[in-house]
Amino acid sequence: MEISPEDLKARIDRREAPMLLDVRDDWETRLCQLPNALHIPIDEIEARADELDPDEELVVYCHQGVRSAAVVEYLRQRGFKNVKNLAGGLDAWARGVDSSMRRY
């Protein structure tokens, strides 16, 4: 399951934002990020998954949506039912929602 950048932006604007999980590397988060996102790098997700609430709505993102899709699949296998991938990642967000966001 995915959510488009435009749909996520609309939810944020309506103050109905799900929990955001950024699974990129530390250096990537220094370039750009979405506000209020929890940062757990993909290589730490297995060790830190207990920090997440399996009943909370969660949108996972990375640069282009590949790593986050893998994390979504992993979390679903662990019993997370309401977890989605940000389609196209932050690159799609920067192209379609926020042109001021730094692209890399």
Query: Around 32, how many Cα atoms within 13 Å sit in the side-chain half-sphere?
Result: 16
- Domain extent, residue 91, equals 2-96
Q: How do residues 8-29 score in pLDDT, each as one tens digit?
A: 999 999 999 999 999 999 999 9
Domain annotation covers residue 22: yes
Beta strands in 1-104 (DSSP E): 2-3, 19-22, 38-39, 58-61, 83-86
Q: How do residues 38-81 score in pLDDT, each as one tens digit?
A: 999 999 999 999 999 999 999 999 999 999 999 999 999 999 99
Overall pTM surpassing 0.85 (yes/no) = yes
Domain annotation covers residue 27: yes
Domain count, the chain: 1
Domain annotation covers residue 104: no
Quickly count: other Cβ atoms within 10 Å of residue 60's Cβ: 34
Domain annotation covers residue 103: no
Domain annotation covers residue 26: yes
Domain annotation covers residue 78: yes
Q: What is the CATH number of the domain that holds 70?
A: 3.40.250.10
Domain annotation covers residue 17: yes
